[in-house]
């Protein structure tokens, strides 16, 4: 749980609880995973079922615990009022509560396994069984004064045990294929829980296929999501004339479906579709179409009869084209998501084809945006229509594994935006190498990169998104920037020519910015020498009030320095306080690094496909682990350090969206 801020957010209930106790408990992060290197522990939300749950205390940050023998509880989660009314501690882990004496030294010595994987993640159709973690200092079996708790909150528990999201949910599913008979483009294939009559109103997912595809080719999405209590309607899509007609078809089918609920399947769905919670999922031309559809409602050029723009909670595009560009293909402020296949032989992402660059749509999204990039996955792998994968490149993944990844990722994605699922967020940004559904394919060809950017989250500060203040020594936030890395260049992140061939172009290999767009970032490189890129706060600033430093970075495809590494790129995220104390966390601590470009050829000479961003999030408190001495409330510089002392010996990267978050 994000202790500091969640506790404040709990509001009146929290104050009520505190008033019951003369000396309040300390609300803090406790549950997480150990790491093989500094900061040696990460506090997380989601724990895969069957995996270990650990508690860790940094003795330097909680000195009062040193020398104390305490009982450590993993308990069923309660809200604030629940803890106030029943402070008893009942451990749910195998073997019950642990007794542990905290010692001076480091966090590794104060890391305890609370559970070896015995806790079920079965939460029915929901994601995650919530739990709280308590350090019972006085060992009285009650949450009371002087104790420490992770999860004293009305919104967020201390952690969640999550089941394998690649596996179906609890409901058997049914499918209806029918023709509404209004136009030539209103055949639909709808999936729903077989017991829908006993359920209330269920969220609606609308699937809009791509050109030459078929509306019956999304069973893997429809059956999976219906088993978790969603109604999934996939419709025939008029993609042949183009993306504008595809958008029209998405709009009309959504309306017509809702309108026809009394008659579809004899009315089996009538009264069971929550039209205020709609997700649009589009593939290729349909992937652009769903964004255009949203834009039309936003612009008022289409007025739905049975839903409103606020009912569209998530728009997700699978390998979308970008024929129309900005401003027609504009996700505006909707929660936006993108799927990209690295081996796509159709919407291929090459520099010579602007309309084939999927990331344009992602970067246009103004608020929460996220993407999943899958090396070795072709255009046809995303549907289940059989035939060609429309794929080219090495290490092809194929349809079965792609669908397994889709199932495991799409369910948490949708849960995040339909039900506000808290553990779902972990699926959206934690490094795939360290956290993924247990049923996800293990094949070494399966490489997954995730991008995630918050919207206007409370307390979020953008240190640098390179959108303003184009001098290289000033960030977009006005904070000074210092660097010793080479070739620092800010600009629009769009390859300026038609190939990815290694060249002197600063933005070679970038495809996130398109015609009419303005997605800017910075590129730089280092070559065998320790160097840095840093944001400098004269006099120091209280970085410790934030929880996380987040940024996205990518390797520069086919660059000499990239090919020299030919692997994940690693470097340090560094804080420097006003006493010039340095604390460094290497990005590899959380699994992998910045992924090497997919080694696909063509699109010019050499190997390596488009520069593929992934998001790195580093917890700020972790910089203070193990007596680092860093003063998080007086930080002079937030930086990235590169070179032989900090990770990869050489490299060239793109960087963007450097943010401080309260999450």
Partner 1 sequence: MKLQKLPLFALLASAAATSALVFQATGQEYPAPVTIQKSEVRLLFAQPFFLDDSYAHAWRSDQPTASAGYLIAVSADQDVLPVRQVHNPLLFVGDMPVERINEASASGVYIGLVPSAVDANGELTLDLTEAPIHWAKPDVLPEALTPAKAQAVLAEAVTSGAVAQRADLVEQAFEEAGGAVYLPNHGMLYRYAADVIERYSPTETDLVSGLRAPLVR
Contacts with partner 1 in 491-550 (CB under 8 A)? 491-492, 494-496, 498, 506-507, 513-517, 532, 534, 536
Which residue number, 167 or 259, has a Cβ lying nearer to partner 1? Answer: 259
Taking the complex as a whole, how short is the minimal distance between the CB of residue 265 and partner 1, in angstroms? Answer: 8
Tell me the per-residue interface mask from 196 to 215 with partner 1, x by CB under 8 A, - otherwise.
--------------xxx-xx
Taking the complex as a whole, how short is the minimal distance between the CB of residue 87 and partner 1, in angstroms? Answer: 36
Taking the complex as a whole, how short is the minimal distance between the CB of residue 496 and partner 1, in angstroms? Answer: 5
* Alpha-carbon gap, residue 41 to 35, rounded angstroms: 5
Strands 159-162 and 148-150: unpaired
User: Which residues pair with residue 91 across a beta bridge?
Assistant: 75
Taking the complex as a whole, how short is the minimal distance between the CB of residue 108 and partner 1, in angstroms? Answer: 12
Q: Does 486 bind partner 1 (CB under 8 A)?
A: no
Q: Does 394 bind partner 1 (CB under 8 A)?
A: no
Taking the complex as a whole, how short is the minimal distance between the CB of residue 475 and partner 1, in angstroms? Answer: 10
Taking the complex as a whole, how short is the minimal distance between the CB of residue 372 and partner 1, in angstroms? Answer: 19
Taking the complex as a whole, how short is the minimal distance between the CB of residue 622 and partner 1, in angstroms? Answer: 9
Among 221, 247, 246, 245, residue whose Cα is nearest residue 233: 221
Q: Does 382 bind partner 1 (CB under 8 A)?
A: no
Which residue number, 215 or 339, has a Cβ lying nearer to partner 1? Answer: 215
CB 160 within 8 A of CB 127: yes
63, 327, 629, 644: which one binds partner 1 (CB under 8 A): 629
CB 201 within 8 A of CB 272: yes
CB 528 within 8 A of CB 643: yes
Among 147, 135, 109, residue whose Cα is nearest residue 31: 135
52, 103, 141, 582: which one binds partner 1 (CB under 8 A): 582
Considering only residues 275 through 294, tell me which ones interact with partner 1, judged by CB under 8 A.
284-285
C-beta contacts of 390-395 below 8 A and 24+ residues apart? 390/344, 390/345, 390/346, 391/341, 391/343, 391/344, 391/345, 392/343, 392/345, 392/600, 392/602, 393/342, 393/343, 393/598, 393/599, 393/600, 393/601, 393/609, 394/599, 394/600, 395/444, 395/445, 395/599
Taking the complex as a whole, how short is the minimal distance between the CB of residue 489 and partner 1, in angstroms? Answer: 5
Which residue number, 521 or 597, has a Cβ lying nearer to partner 1? Answer: 521
CB 654 within 8 A of CB 519: no
| 415 CB-contact burial (10 Å; exposed 0-12 / middle 13-18 / buried 19+) | buried
Among 29, 133, 32, residue whose Cα is nearest residue 83: 133
* Alpha-carbon gap, residue 446 to 463, rounded angstroms: 33
The token pair that represents 324 in the structure block? 């129309």
Ramachandran bin of 17, using left for φ above 0, alpha for ψ from -120 to 50, beta for the remaining angles = alpha
* Alpha-carbon gap, residue 556 to 127, rounded angstroms: 37
Taking the complex as a whole, how short is the minimal distance between the CB of residue 641 and partner 1, in angstroms? Answer: 9
Considering only residues 644 through 663, tell me which ones interact with partner 1, judged by CB under 8 A.
none
The rounded Cα 6 to chain-centroid distance in angstroms is 20
Q: Does 45 bind partner 1 (CB under 8 A)?
A: no
CB 618 within 8 A of CB 658: no
Taking the complex as a whole, how short is the minimal distance between the CB of residue 442 and partner 1, in angstroms? Answer: 31
Which residue number, 421 or 508, has a Cβ lying nearer to partner 1? Answer: 508
Q: How many CB atoms lie within 10 A of CB 536?
A: 18
Q: Does 321 bind partner 1 (CB under 8 A)?
A: yes
Phi, psi of 587 (to 5 degrees): -65, -20
104, 145, 177, 457: which one binds partner 1 (CB under 8 A): 177
Taking the complex as a whole, how short is the minimal distance between the CB of residue 185 and partner 1, in angstroms? Answer: 8
CA quadruple 150, 155, 157, 160: dihedral sign: negative
CB 41 within 8 A of CB 107: yes
220, 362, 584, 652: which one binds partner 1 (CB under 8 A): 584
Considering only residues 588 through 617, tell me which ones interact with partner 1, judged by CB under 8 A.
none
Considering only residues 436 through 475, tell me which ones interact with partner 1, judged by CB under 8 A.
470-474
User: Which residues pair with residue 650 across a beta bridge?
Assistant: 527
Q: Does 182 bind partner 1 (CB under 8 A)?
A: yes
Considering only residues 92 through 131, tell me which ones interact with partner 1, judged by CB under 8 A.
none
46, 137, 180, 655: which one binds partner 1 (CB under 8 A): 180
- Using the contact rule CB under 8 A, the part of the chain among 8-16, 186-194, 269-277, 309-317 near partner 1 is 186-194
Q: Does 636 bind partner 1 (CB under 8 A)?
A: yes
Q: Does 567 bind partner 1 (CB under 8 A)?
A: no
Which residue number, 1 or 292, has a Cβ lying nearer to partner 1? Answer: 292
Considering only residues 326 through 365, tell me which ones interact with partner 1, judged by CB under 8 A.
346-347, 351-356
Which residue number, 27 or 373, has a Cβ lying nearer to partner 1? Answer: 373
84, 585, 594, 620: which one binds partner 1 (CB under 8 A): 585
Tell me the per-residue interface mask from 225 to 244 with partner 1, x by CB under 8 A, - otherwise.
-----------x-x-xxxxx
Q: Does 481 bind partner 1 (CB under 8 A)?
A: yes
Q: How many CB atoms lie within 10 A of CB 259?
A: 15
Q: Does 271 bind partner 1 (CB under 8 A)?
A: no
User: Which residues pair with residue 71 across a beta bridge?
Assistant: 99, 136
1, 17, 152, 264: which one binds partner 1 (CB under 8 A): 264
Which residue number, 332 or 625, has a Cβ lying nearer to partner 1? Answer: 625
Coil/strand/helix, residue 425: helix
Q: Give the list of residues 6+ apart from residue 485 with CB closer than 8 angstroms, or none.
A: 524, 525, 526, 531, 532, 533, 642
Which residue number, 260 or 422, has a Cβ lying nearer to partner 1? Answer: 260
179, 299, 310, 456: which one binds partner 1 (CB under 8 A): 179
Which residue number, 143 or 573, has a Cβ lying nearer to partner 1? Answer: 573
Q: Does 268 bind partner 1 (CB under 8 A)?
A: no
- Number of chain positions touching partner 1 (CB under 8 A): 93
Q: Does 484 bind partner 1 (CB under 8 A)?
A: yes
Strands 202-208 and 187-193: unpaired
């Amino acid at each position: 749980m994000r202790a500091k801020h969640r506790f404040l957010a709990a509001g009146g209930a929290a104050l009520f609880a505190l008033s019951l106790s003369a000396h309040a408990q300390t609300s803090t992060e406790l549950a997480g995973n150990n790491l093989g290197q500094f900061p040696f522990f990460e506090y997380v939300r989601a724990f895969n079922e069957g995996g270990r749950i650990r508690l860790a205390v940094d003795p330097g940050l909680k000195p009062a615990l040193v020398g104390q023998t305490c009982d450590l509880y993993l308990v069923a989660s309660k809200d604030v009022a629940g803890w106030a009314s029943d402070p008893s501690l009942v451990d749910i882990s195998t073997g019950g509560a642990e007794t542990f004496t905290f010692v001076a030294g480091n966090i590794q010595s104060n890391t305890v396994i609370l559970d070896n994987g015995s806790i079920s993640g079965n939460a029915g159709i929901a994601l995650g069984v919530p739990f709280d973690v308590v350090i019972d200092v006085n060992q009285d079996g009650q949450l009371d004064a002087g104790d420490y708790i992770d999860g004293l909150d009305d919104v967020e528990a201390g952690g969640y045990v999550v089941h394998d999201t690649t596996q179906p949910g609890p409901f058997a599913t049914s499918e209806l294929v029918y023709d509404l008979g209004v136009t030539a483009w209103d055949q639909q294939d709808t999936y729903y829980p077989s017991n829908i009559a006993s359920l209330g109103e269920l969220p609606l997912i609308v699937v809009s296929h791509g050109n030459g595809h078929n509306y019956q080719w999304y069973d893997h999405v429809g059956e999976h999501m219906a088993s978790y209590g969603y109604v999934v309607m996939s419709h025939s899509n008029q993609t042949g004339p183009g993306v504008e007609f595809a958008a029209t078809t998405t709009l009309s089918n959504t309306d017509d479906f809702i309108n026809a609920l009394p008659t579809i399947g004899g009315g089996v769905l009538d009264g069971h579709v929550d039209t205020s919670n709609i997700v649009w999922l589009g593939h290729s031309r349909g992937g652009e179409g769903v964004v255009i559809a949203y834009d039309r409602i936003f612009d008022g050029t289409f007025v739905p009869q049975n839903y409103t723009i606020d009912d569209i909670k998530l728009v997700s595009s699978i390998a979308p084209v970008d024929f129309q560009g900005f401003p027609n293909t504009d996700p505006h402020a909707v929660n936006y998501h993108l799927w990209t296949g690295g081996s796509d032989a159709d919407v291929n992402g090459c520099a010579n084809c602007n309309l084939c660059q999927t990331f344009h749509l992602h970067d246009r999204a103004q608020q929460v945006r996220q993407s999943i990039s899958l090396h070795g996955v072709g255009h046809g792998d995303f549907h289940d229509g059989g035939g060609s994968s429309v794929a080219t490149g090495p290490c092809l993944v194929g349809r079965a594994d792609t669908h397994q990844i889709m199932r495991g990722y799409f369910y948490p994605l949708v849960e995040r935006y339909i039900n506000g699922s808290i553990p779902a967020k972990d699926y959206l940004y934690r490094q795939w190498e360290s956290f993924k559904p247990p049923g996800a394919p293990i094949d070494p060809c399966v490489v997954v990169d995730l991008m995630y950017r918050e919207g206007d989250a409370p307390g979020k500060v953008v240190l640098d998104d390179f959108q303003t203040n184009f001098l290289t020594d000033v960030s977009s936030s006005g904070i000074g920037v210092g660097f010793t890395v080479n070739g620092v260049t800010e600009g629009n992140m769009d390859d300026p020519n038609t190939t990815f061939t290694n060249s002197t172009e600063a933005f070679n290999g970038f495809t996130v910015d398109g015609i009419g767009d303005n997605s800017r970032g910075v590129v730089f490189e280092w070559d065998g020498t320790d160097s840095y890129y840093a944001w400098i706060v004269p006099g120091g600033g209280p970085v410790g009030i934030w929880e996380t430093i987040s940024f996205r970075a990518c390797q520069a495809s086919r660059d000499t320095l990239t090919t020299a590494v030919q692997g994940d790129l690693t470097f340090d995220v560094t804080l420097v306080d006003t006493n010039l104390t340095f604390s460094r966390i290497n990005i590899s601590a959380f699994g992998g690094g910045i992924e090497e470009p997919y080694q696909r050829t063509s699109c010019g000479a050499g190997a390596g496909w488009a520069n593929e961003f992934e998001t790195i999030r580093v917890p700020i408190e972790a910089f203070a682990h193990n007596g680092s001495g860093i003063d998080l409330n007086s930080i002079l510089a937030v930086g990235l350090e590169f070179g032989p002392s900090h990770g990869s010996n050489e490299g060239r990267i793109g960087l963007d969206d450097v943010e401080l978050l309260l999450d």
